[in-house]
Chains A and B, each alone.
Chain A
């Protein structure tokens, strides 16, 4: 695989940022889009547009077929059992809210417990917090150590007869920790506790096999997987989709509507009320094809190589401290520079065309635990090269020079 060929498939890299070539290291936030994805969206609107669903005209039939083709691709991408287990939402946040709300409505009562971890993104905390507010549920945080690894033994100790669900990230968007989900699911299932996995960072960067993980729910966003915004995916085991109540009511999610009785459509339609992001879902199929064209093994190999190169080079810069040192790490590198606030780092790097993220990355619980207000974060995507890392490190050196450290 020639990595330069991959980069050239992303038109944004031919643009200059502040007069410099773009070094995009913010893929954990959202990935850039290959030309095939951009063209597909354009093409659908130009030549094929129609809403999906119940119209009988040719365009509608085509759109419906294409929409369902994406569902099948997603099913294969994460190795779900059936396409009916794939629900489209607007993003992963909505997917997690869907589960928290419907599962909570049905299964959570006063004093029931929900276990999450100190690594979670706010989107896998706040939806559960609503249940704490509205249903008097208790949220327990499985602790992490300094390395950013979840302490599985401590998590085990948190489980009681009142534990109703465990919600956990697959891959941390701060430390890059790859969480041993299979092991946690086994522990939870022994006590009949379902597990929701936040797969936002894992879906684009590691192999995901929901059958093998055996998790009950798995949520991710299309826009981090080289796809368009507006597409979220919720995988849920069929047994849950059949018994949980619907989330949003409206058109398309019903079977029959009478003045005094309404029956709902079977899943997945039960959870897809109203007009969906039709064009974006159809386009998302191209994103999966893009990843397949590279091959997940090649993708992982390349991103690991770049990540290891970055870690080695960053460790050689004295004032740089890398946050966390997990056992299994993907291409997410949070760091600090002694004496320079992350927002100053981000501004200075931006002048060199280097796009990173600075702040708490929607993980205030993690930052509080580590006694940090904010960190800078460089995150790797399939298009990143060793040269990108060299430019990043040079920009960091410049930052240190401006602040006259050393």
Chain B
């Protein structure tokens, strides 16, 4: 196991100063996520335009460096994407973490993929995987307009 791989500079930096923090103006979708194991909470706010594109994406939350960095990076990468593109990005992210594959989505640039790959260190720390995936599952829940809070413990 390699701590340096888990706590890369970009993770520490996003963890310390998360981007797109707070409620975005005029949000029309939102969802809450919860990790009962550690008490981490995230609340995702989305403004979707009439073409089903993410016009704005922000979050509020408290959590560890991994969960804050993951949420922060997510808001950067998903902004401006359509519903389906966002889902595809999430699936390739989850696939990367679970199956140790590359990021395969066509909806991110190489630089963006590199940024997302900075979260790949969690693969070696099974107890920390859910820290990284909580905000993503919550995003999908918001996109799909689900009412229930996402409980990450019940998601594989």
Does B155 make an interface contact (CB < 8 A)? no
Q: Are A402 and B3 closer than 8 Å at their CB atoms?
A: yes
Does A373 make an interface contact (CB < 8 A)? yes
Q: Which of B1, B37, B62, B65 contacts A344 (CB under 8 A)?
A: B65
Does A45 make an interface contact (CB < 8 A)? no
Q: B112 to nearest A CB, angstroms?
A: 25
Does A343 make an interface contact (CB < 8 A)? yes
Complex contacts, A374 vs chain B, CB 8 Å: 38-39
- Tell me the B4-36 residues at the A interface (CB within 8 Å): 6-7, 12, 16
Check A341/B12 contact, CB under 8 A, given A348-B3, A358-B38, A359-B39: no
- Tell me the B41-73 residues at the A interface (CB within 8 Å): 41, 62-66
Complex contacts, A18 vs chain B, CB 8 Å: 1
Report the interface size class on chain B. Answer: 20 to 34
Q: A277 to nearest B CB, angstroms?
A: 27
Does A340 make an interface contact (CB < 8 A)? yes
Report the interface size class on chain A. Answer: 20 to 34
Report the bound CA distance from A404 to B40 in whole Å: 23
Report the bound CA distance from A403 to B66 in whole Å: 12
Q: Are A360 and B39 closer than 8 Å at their CB atoms?
A: yes
Smallest Cβ-Cβ distance to B131: which chain A residue: A343
Report the bound CA distance from A358 to B7 in whole Å: 18
* Binary contact track B76-91/A, C-beta < 8 Å → 1, others 0: 0000000000000000
Check A343/B3 contact, CB under 8 A, given A360-B39, A373-B40, A374-B39: no
Does A50 make an interface contact (CB < 8 A)? no
Q: In terms of DSSP, what is the predominant structure of the interface of chain A? A: mixed
Q: Which of B37, B65, B128 contacts A340 (CB under 8 A)?
A: B65
Report the bound CA distance from A75 to B127 in whole Å: 40
Does A48 make an interface contact (CB < 8 A)? no
Q: Are A402 and B12 closer than 8 Å at their CB atoms?
A: yes
Complex contacts, A359 vs chain B, CB 8 Å: 37-39
Q: B59 to nearest A CB, angstroms?
A: 16
Report the bound CA distance from A403 to B11 in whole Å: 10
Q: Are A364 and B39 closer than 8 Å at their CB atoms?
A: yes
Q: Are B12 and A403 closer than 8 Å at their CB atoms?
A: yes
Complex contacts, A339 vs chain B, CB 8 Å: 16
Q: A152 to nearest B CB, angstroms?
A: 30
* Binary contact track B105-137/A, C-beta < 8 Å → 1, others 0: 000000000000000000001011001000000
Report the bound CA distance from A340 to B16 in whole Å: 9
Q: Are B6 and A341 closer than 8 Å at their CB atoms?
A: no
Does A146 make an interface contact (CB < 8 A)? no
Q: Are A341 and B64 closer than 8 Å at their CB atoms?
A: yes
Does A351 make an interface contact (CB < 8 A)? yes
Q: Are A347 and B128 closer than 8 Å at their CB atoms?
A: yes
Report the bound CA distance from A344 to B16 in whole Å: 13
Check A343/B62 contact, CB under 8 A, given A351-B1, A360-B39, A373-B40: no
Complex contacts, B3 vs chain A, CB 8 Å: 347-348, 351, 402
Report the bound CA distance from A50 to B14 in whole Å: 59
* Binary contact track A307-343/B, C-beta < 8 Å → 1, others 0: 0000000000000000000000000000000011111
Check A373/B12 contact, CB under 8 A, given A347-B125, A348-B3, A359-B38: no
Complex contacts, A344 vs chain B, CB 8 Å: 7, 64-66
- Tell me the A5-41 residues at the B interface (CB within 8 Å): 18
Smallest Cβ-Cβ distance to B16: which chain A residue: A339
Report the bound CA distance from A358 to B64 in whole Å: 11
Q: B66 to nearest A CB, angstroms?
A: 7
Q: Are A403 and B65 closer than 8 Å at their CB atoms?
A: yes
* Binary contact track A349-386/B, C-beta < 8 Å → 1, others 0: 00100000011100010010000011000000000000
Complex contacts, A342 vs chain B, CB 8 Å: 38, 64
Report the bound CA distance from A340 to B12 in whole Å: 10
Complex contacts, B37 vs chain A, CB 8 Å: 359
Which of B1, B3, B6 gathers the greatest number of chain A CB atoms within 10 Å? B3
Report the bound CA distance from A298 to B84 in whole Å: 66
Q: B1 to nearest A CB, angstroms?
A: 6
Smallest Cβ-Cβ distance to A403: which chain B residue: B12
Q: Are B39 and A373 closer than 8 Å at their CB atoms?
A: yes
Q: Which of A343, A351, A367, A402 contacts B64 (CB under 8 A)?
A: A343
Report the bound CA distance from A351 to B121 in whole Å: 14
Complex contacts, B63 vs chain A, CB 8 Å: 341
Q: A350 to nearest B CB, angstroms?
A: 9
Q: B117 to nearest A CB, angstroms?
A: 19
A-B residue pairs, 5 tightest by C-beta = A341-B64, A343-B64, A344-B64, A373-B39, A344-B65
A-B contact pairs, 8 of them (CB 8 A): A18-B1, A342-B64, A343-B66, A344-B66, A348-B3, A360-B38, A373-B38, A403-B12
Q: Which B residues form the contact surface with A (CB < 8 A)?
A: 1, 3, 6-7, 12, 16, 37-41, 62-66, 125, 127-128, 131
Given contacts A358-B38, A373-B40, A403-B12, 5 further A-B pairs with CB under 8 A are: A340-B65, A341-B64, A344-B7, A351-B1, A360-B38
